[in-house]
Amino acid sequence: MALVELSSVTYTYPTTDKPALKDINLKVEQGEFLAIVGSNEAGKSTLCYTISGFIPHFFHGDLVGEVQVAGLNLEESKLNEWVLNVGLVFQNPFNQISGSKFTVFEEIAFGLENLGVKRSEMIERVERAMELTGISDLADRSPYSLSGGQQQKVALTSILVMEPQVFVLDEPTSQLDPIGAREVFEVIKEMSRAGITVIMAEHKIEWVAEFADRVIAMHDGQIIIEGSPQEVLTSPLLPEHGIGTSRYTQAAKQARTEGLFSETTPLPVTLDQAVAGFSGGNHED
């Protein structure tokens, strides 16, 4: 059985008539890095909120279908039970800083304190989580003295230390510069390698292409295509539904119309694939 499974899920927000999600069927395996792409109002954030339990326990509304994580049923579980298995990271890391702690170390330990975890175990878990996300050197800094990328790493670590089975991230790099975005993506990929399941909504197609294991594209509350980054991010369905594609894909398409990129070479989605394609080499899907 998949770690995360949604079966015929349709959701409508309160005071609205149009469903934000329509008949979603999705399975995510343990340790998989799944990326969700789509234009604005495609349903990406709503899907994240549903998997993380904020729908229906916080936003309410009308939820039809079944959502399961680690064998638990969403509607039969309370939110405080659900979040032990699923952690949610928002777009703006500032929104996840408690404001009650003076150092990064204390901020990361905050959730464990609320659970009554023993001090010795708490220290060990915080140190281990900070090492995995590469922010051990920030332990004594104020959370408010950090860059946006560093704050997002702290937000990630604050969820990681709780040891959920699933990480859900709603466009975590939307407010970061390219350097900060790469740093956060590398941390997320390292978490995935450590066996943590990652589900992330993201607009930055180049990063999705480089780091995700599987991609789903959404439009108008529905999944229109899913598969490998190569399959999804080069699909003509994306531009047809207002979804951006990689600059490398766009360049290769234009070059192909001018006879400069082989018709038999798969369109690239990463820089390495583009270099191989334009030089006449082959790249793996």
Which residue shows structure tokens 């999804």?
Answer: 232
Residue 224 in tokens: 């229109």
Q: Locate CATH 3.40.50.300 in the chain.
A: 1-85+164-229
Helix axes 104-115 and 148-160, enclosed angle (nearest 10): 30
- Per residue in 128-147, pLDDT (tens digit) is 999 988 899 999 999 999 98
Tokens for 159? Answer: 């969820």
Cross-strand pairs, 222: 219
**Whole-angstrom Cα distance, residue 197 to residue 279?**
36
pLDDT < 70: residue spans in the chain: 281-285
Q: What is the DSSP string of 185-196?
A: HHHHHHHHHTT-
Location of structure tokens 């899913």: 226
What are the DSSP calls for 72-131, one per residue?
EEGGGS-HHHHTTTEEEE-S-GGGG--SS-SSHHHHHHHHHHHHT--HHHHHHHHHHHHH
Tokens linked to 5:
């499974």
pLDDT in tens, 145-192: 998 889 989 998 999 999 899 999 998 888 778 887 888 888 888 888
What's the Cα-to-Cα distance from 280 to each of 221, 265, 271, 276, rounded to whole Å?
A: 39, 8, 14, 6
Beta-carbon contacts of residue 81 (< 8 Å; ≥ 6 apart) = 72
For helices 271-278 and 247-257, the axis angle rounded to 10 degrees is 20
Q: Which helix (H) or strand (E) holds 150?
A: helix 148-160
pTM: 0.89
List C-alpha distances in Å: 250 to 48, 243, 253: 28, 12, 5
pLDDT of residue 281: 53
Instruction: Tell me the CATH architecture of domain 1-85+164-229.
Output: 3-Layer(aba) Sandwich (3.40)
Q: Can you give the pLDDT at residue 200?
A: 95
Predicted confidence at residue 191, as pLDDT, reads 83
Q: Say what the pLDDT of residue 283 is.
A: 52
> Which residues in 56-66 are b (16+ Cβ under 10 Å) and which e?
bbeeebebebe
Contacts of 50 (CB under 8 A, 6+ apart): 6, 9, 11, 21, 63, 67, 74
Tokens at 132, concatenated: 């995995």
Give the C-alpha separation, 171 to 196, whole Å.
Answer: 18
Cα 210 to its chain centre, rounded Å, is 14
Q: Residues 64, 9: contact at Cβ < 8 Å?
A: yes
CB 55 within 8 A of CB 79: no
